[in-house]
Structure 1
């Protein structure tokens, strides 16, 4: 497969910048696979695993929402947070899951419930990518 440039950025850092031959991500409309020569495309991403082929190996990362922009020259992913599967602190993700579930039970407003639900989805995604059953 022909490689293309991929850049993944968060508010804090550039997570990945280099060549890849494919990525698979989940948009609000479903999964999308991107290969070299993909038509120009923009999509919102949801908290989910993202697969990135690096040096012939598919690597998995936990992506926390954002958007994807495919242009003729490159692909850019902007996300709130992302981490490789082997970098996930499982104990911290478990605590985040428990805290979010407690907040959802005792929420005082819809805004608090929505915020807790978003945190729960992020924690579950991190646990999924880390290979942990929940």
Structure 2
């Protein structure tokens, strides 16, 4: 499958999961304690505005989380497409007891690549 199709499929999956998560949280918020709206009103924010602020704040939290995760997975897909033998690798911790393992996001022998959210930080060193 071409990388473009894989990325579109990944985006669709993340979009559906994000939408479901937001819908569930908005429904859950209807059952939440509403007493904080009193404080909002004291500070000059109407109940209607307060509800919208709460909804968008929750949507934003989920959006940032899913956007970062999507970018990490999309980056891994691109590396896998360019370097078919690359992938995530867990390395046992031989120095201490915690954590038991360390994870390399993408090992493109001999380079270990760390991928983080909205940008990729690439650290290359010989794999051991």
- Shorter-normalised TM range: under 0.3
Structure with max Cα Rg: 2
Higher relative contact order (CA 8 A, sep 6+): 1
Which structure has greater helix proportion? 2
Using the size of structure 2 for normalisation, the TM-score is: 0.27
